[in-house]
Amino acid sequence: MRGDVHGIARVGRRTKDLTKRLVAGDIAVIDHEDIDRVAAEALLEKHPAAVLNAARSTSGRYPNAGPKILVDAGILLLDHLGPDTMAAIPEGSALTLTEEGQVLVDGTEVAHGQVMDDAAIAASLEAAREGLSEQLELFASNTMEYMLRERDLLLDGVGTPEIETELQGRAVLIVVRGYHYKEDLATLGPFIRENRPVIIGVDGGADAVLEAGYRLDMIIGDMDSVSDRALKGRAELVVHAYRDGRAPGLERLGELGIAEKAVVFPASGTSEDIAMLLADEKGASVIVAVGTHGTLEEFLDKGRAGMSSTFLTRLRVGSKLVDAKGVSRLYRQRISTAQLVLLAVAGMLALVVALWATPGGQALFQILGARMDDLLSWFTSLFADVPPATSEADLP
C-alpha cells in the first residue's frame, strides 16, 4: 500500500446490489464472507479505490479466488473489520484508509482491519485447503437430501408450472450471472443469429441479455437482482418460490404492478436449476447454458447447501445440456493478417501446381504467356514512339 487512500464510502451488505451504485474511486464497504470470483469481478468492473469487508474474505471453508483477484488488480482490500463496521461507516462519508489498516472519518478511527497482501492471501488459502475434505462430505450429504426431497420433480417433472412461452422442439439459451458469462454470451452471437433460441435470463442474467442487445423471452428467479427495465419488458416472468409457497419475488413484482402476469415455481435448489428443469420438461431440443455452475469450486463459491442440486439437475437433463462456459477463452486466439495472407498465397500456389499438372492447365498457361508477351511488346512499342525530351541547351 502506497500512502493513505481516500474515497467516498458506498455501504451495502449485498455485494451484487452495491456494485450498481459504485463508481470509479469509491470505497466499497461490504459484509461478504468468502468473496467469490463473480463478486470480485463485479467489483473490479467498477474500479473502486478500496474494498472494506466486515467479514472474513476467506473464512477457511474453501480456497476462494475473490480476494486474490482484487489484490492482483491493485485494489486495497481491508479484511475482517467486524460486524459493527456497517453501522459505523455512514453512506457517502469521506474515508481515509491508512497503511496500518485504519479507517478514518473526519480524522477519527471508526474501524480497523487487516491489509490483505499477497502473503496474507497465500496463508489464508493454504489454511482453507485443509477444510476441503469436510466441504466434500457436506456436499455429498446435501446432494442426497435434495434427491430425496425433490425426487418427484427430478424424475417426473411434478410441480412444473404451465407457461406461455413455447419451448417444444426449440433450442433454449439459459443465461446466468456466473463465470465469464458476458464474454461467453458475446461469443455465442453466431449461434443466436442462426438458431434464434428461446432466451431465458436467470435473475441478473436477464440484464446481461439486454445489454448484449438480444431479445429476452423469459426471466426466472427470485427477482432480487433484476432491473426494473428487464422486469417491465415483454419477457414472461417465472418466480422461484420456496417449497412452503413463500415467494418474496412476488412482492417486488407487486410494487411494480406486474405480479399478475407472473407464474410461481416452488422448488428447492437454485434458480438456474429450475430454469434447466423447466426447459427440459417443456420439450426443449437443446439447452445451452451460459454462466451456470458446473465445478466443485463454483458450487462452493455460492456458499449454499442448495448448490448440490445443480449436480443432480445436470444428470436429469443429460446430453440435452450444452455448457457454453469458457467458449470465449477457447476462441480467444485470433488469426492475424499475416497468417491470412500466407494462407492465401499457399492456396494460390497449390492451385497453380494443380493446373500445371493437367493438359488443360498447361494450355491455359501457354495462352496467358502469349498474352503477356503481346502486352509487353505493346508497351515497348508505345514508349519507342515517344520523342526524346528536349533540353534547354538544344533550344535556339
The residue ranking higher by pLDDT, 333 or 114, is: 114
Average pLDDT over residues 225-229: 90
With bands split at pLDDT 50, 70 and 90, how would you rate the model's confidence at 279? very high
Judged against a pLDDT cut of 80, whether residue 8 lies above it is answered with yes
For 90-147, the pLDDT digits (tens) are 999 999 999 999 999 999 999 999 999 999 999 988 888 777 777 777 777 777 777 7
The last residue of a domain, from among 272, 303, 330 = 330
Q: Are residues 38 and 186 in the same domain?
A: no
CATH of the domain at 111: 3.50.30.10
In-domain check, residue 229: yes
The last residue of a domain, from among 309, 330, 351 = 330
C-alpha 305: how far from its chain's center? 23
pLDDT value of residue 141: 74
In-domain check, residue 387: no
Q: Are residues 321 and 197 in the same domain?
A: yes
Q: Which long-range contacts link 387-394 to residues 24+ away (Cβ below 8 Å)?
A: none
Please, are residues 78 and 103 in contact by the beta-carbon 8 Å criterion? yes
For 343-352, the pLDDT digits (tens) are 677 767 776 6
Please, are residues 289 and 180 in contact by the beta-carbon 8 Å criterion? no
The residue segments making up the domain with residue 240 are 132-330
Q: Point out which residues pair with 174 in neighbouring strands.
A: 200, 289
Average pLDDT over residues 266-291: 91
In-domain check, residue 392: no
In-domain check, residue 256: yes
Q: Are residues 283 and 143 in the same domain?
A: yes
In-domain check, residue 169: yes
Please provide the DSSP assignment of 142-190 as one string: HHHHHHHHTHHHHHH-TTPPP-SS--TT-EEEEEES-TTHHHHHHHTHH
Per the prediction, the chain carries an average pLDDT of 84
Q: Are residues 236 and 269 in the same domain?
A: yes
Q: Are residues 143 and 177 in the same domain?
A: yes
* Pairing assessment for the beta strands 50-53 and 27-30 based on DSSP bridges: parallel
Reported as type and span, the H/E element at residue 147 is: helix 132-149
Residue 297: name the closest of 312, 306, 307 by CA: 307
* CA distance to 9, 39, 322, 332, per residue, from 14 (Å): 15, 10, 31, 32
For 315-325, the pLDDT digits (tens) are 788 889 888 86
Q: Are residues 104 and 189 in the same domain?
A: no
The residue ranking higher by pLDDT, 57 or 394, is: 57
Q: Are residues 116 and 244 in the same domain?
A: no
Q: What is the pTM of this model?
A: 0.67
